[in-house]
Amino acid sequence: MGYQAAIFDIDGVLVDSPHELAWREALARLMAGPWAGQAGATSYTPERFTSAVYQAYVSGKPREAGASAALAYFGIADPDGRRLREYCDTKQALLLALIERGAFTAFDDGIRLLLRLRAAGARVVAASSSKNADLFLRRVSLERFGDAFTLPPGATLLDMFDANVNGHAVPRGKPDPALFLLAAAAVGALPAACVVVEDAPAGVQAAKAGGMACVGVARRGDAAELRAAGADWVVADLDALPLAELA
């Protein structure tokens, strides 16, 4: 391997989590319920909370930062911070219920890339802003990959990482590189010796700001945006990324 460490974002790269659904549904419930009196003074409608808005303002950020950005985008006043807390709590309750129901899927191409890099000698690090990321990883069994890779009995995706900085508090969220720099330090790798696997433009910007190489996976038809953010490789399917390119 040409890189000492591979740093993986989680949501959108390894799992298709219901974070976006939880953020959207939580705000819809609040605006239809306890916050209904303020609706006319905002730009919010359920239809305006699109995937593009989620990716641009919420995705990849720590929980409170993402909630604050969504409230600001829709012009929802929060002078004392109570709405921020209520939004975070409502979203978290919805998310935990969705996880408990198993309402998410794993991306097999992302898992295969992780296992291939691990087998090639790279250290692999989990680096998500979400404090819930481990809950997803723990639920993904690797039994179906046992024929292609040598894996411990009963292994889950969470067991495959040499280090895990999911949910760690950092001074600023993406596109600031703080989380990825923390990930590199966790395995003693210099930033220039790391490659990040990301699905969001803000995450690509964070990797490049940290002096790292970056693979962008365009799962939403956003290849142009990932290239514009600085991704060194952009693929729609991570199985299409040859390891020779990373060497």
pLDDT tens-digit map of 37-47:
998 999 999 99
Can you say how many angstroms the Cα of residue 181 is from the centroid of all Cα atoms in its chain? 16
pLDDT, residue 234, reads 97
Q: Which two tokens stand for residue 177?
A: 């590189």
Helix %, strand %, coil % of the chain (to 5):
50, 10, 40
Average pLDDT of the residues in 84-91: 97
Amino acid at 156: T
pLDDT category of residue 12 using cuts at 50, 70 and 90? very high
pLDDT at 1: 62
pLDDT in tens, 111-169: 999 999 999 999 999 999 888 899 999 999 999 999 999 999 999 999 999 999 998 98
Q: pLDDT tens-digit profile of 216-233?
A: 999 989 999 999 999 999
> How many other CB atoms sit within 10 Å of the CB of residue 54?
18
Q: Under 8 Å CB-to-CB from 74, ≥6 apart: which residues?
A: 27, 42, 43, 44, 48, 49
* CA distances for 185 relative to 4, 18, 86, 172, 210, angstroms: 12, 29, 35, 17, 12
Separation between Cα atoms, residue 96 and residue 18, nearest integer Å: 10
Confidence category of residue 73, pLDDT binned at 50, 70, 90:
very high
